[in-house]
């Protein structure tokens, strides 16, 4: 199989590419509109067919590339079924494995950062691999003060769904703000300052309630845009409009006529 961890620096988002080499089918987890062209180039360079975009949750910090990727590649858009998005093609639910060729992702309903957040568990034969979305980050976790977020709920999601996984489970988060890329379940149990080292639910809630984070700078256009699977709404401010203006398929994706190949 092919695996790539791709980074979008403005929102510090990790997009994950998983491909089944046998069929050439692949999925992009949490693709970002800002890196649409980079992602299309990776797919093109690796000769892959994008079967799906797959969201962990309704993002408030970036616009999804889902809609544009579907427009340019014909892929399907998969989102948590609980999001009930008219624009999506597939609704994801815990208990129903999600297949990309021969690869299988197991959705885990893990609310708390948002009320419909899902993580995705994969087994590579050596370790389990958790795409933890915004629920669990490296020595951190997603904020719980917007989008029906709830600290108690997030604590239970992480304890029950994540910390019950094998210690060696690799954790790939949807963000890191300090250039880190990976952690493990045991490392987070040992080191996560918010809910590792046996922190109680009450301690976690107190920590989350005292974070005093700034208002999310993109939330006012990202959430309505992502409710349309990544369509740019009218209220995107000028400094963030760049990615909205990509309306044409990049040249390298447009097939050349046969006579022009060599």
Binding site for a copy of itself (CB under 8 A): 1, 3-5, 124-127, 129, 167-168, 170, 178-184, 186-187, 190-191
What's the closest the beta carbon of residue 192 comes to a copy of itself, in angstroms? 10
Strand order in the sheet with 170-173: 98-100, 103-109, 118-123, 128-133, 170-173, 183-184
What's the closest the beta carbon of residue 181 comes to a copy of itself, in angstroms? 5
Between 125 and 214, name the residue whose CB sits nearer to a copy of itself: 125
Between 1 and 228, name the residue whose CB sits nearer to a copy of itself: 1
Asked if residues 150 and 112 have their Cβ atoms less than 8 Å apart, the reply is yes
Count the residues in the chain. 262
- Cα within 13 Å of Cα(138), Cβ side: 18
What's the closest the beta carbon of residue 138 comes to a copy of itself, in angstroms? 10
Per the DSSP assignment, residues forming a β-bridge with 173 are 133
Between 124 and 200, name the residue whose CB sits nearer to a copy of itself: 124
What's the closest the beta carbon of residue 183 comes to a copy of itself, in angstroms? 7
Between 172 and 240, name the residue whose CB sits nearer to a copy of itself: 172
Alpha-helix runs per DSSP H in the chain? 36-46, 66-73, 151-157, 185-191, 201-209, 219-226
């Amino acid at each position: 199989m092919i695996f790539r961890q791709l980074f979008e620096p403005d929102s510090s988002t990790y997009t994950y590419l998983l491909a089944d080499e046998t069929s050439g089918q692949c999925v992009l987890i949490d693709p970002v509109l800002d890196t649409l062209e980079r992602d299309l180039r990776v797919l093109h360079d690796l000769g892959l067919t994008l079967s799906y975009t797959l969201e962990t949750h309704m993002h408030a910090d970036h616009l999804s590339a889902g809609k544009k990727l579907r427009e340019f590649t014909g892929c399907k858009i998969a989102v948590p079924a609980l999001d009930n998005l008219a624009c999506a093609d597939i609704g994801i639910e815990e208990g129903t494995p999600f297949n990309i060729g021969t690869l299988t992702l197991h959705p885990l309903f893990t609310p708390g950062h948002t009320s419909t957040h899902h993580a995705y568990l994969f087994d590579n034969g050596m370790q389990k691999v958790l795409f933890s979305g915004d629920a669990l980050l490296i020595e951190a976790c997603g904020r719980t003060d917007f989008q029906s977020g709830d600290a108690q709920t997030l604590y239970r999601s992480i304890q029950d769904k994540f910390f019950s996984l094998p210690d060696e489970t690799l954790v790939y988060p949807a963000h890191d703000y300090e250039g880190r890329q990976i952690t493990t379940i045991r490392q987070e149990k040992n080191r996560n300052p918010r809910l590792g080292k046996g922190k109680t639910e009450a301690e976690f809630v107190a920590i989350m309630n005292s974070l005093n984070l700034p208002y999310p700078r993109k939330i006012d256009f990202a959430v309505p845009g992502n409710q349309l699977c990544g369509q740019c709404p009218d209220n995107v401010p000028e400094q963030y409009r760049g990615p909205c203006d990509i309306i044409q398929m990049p040249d390298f994706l447009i097939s050349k006529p046969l006579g022009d190949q060599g």
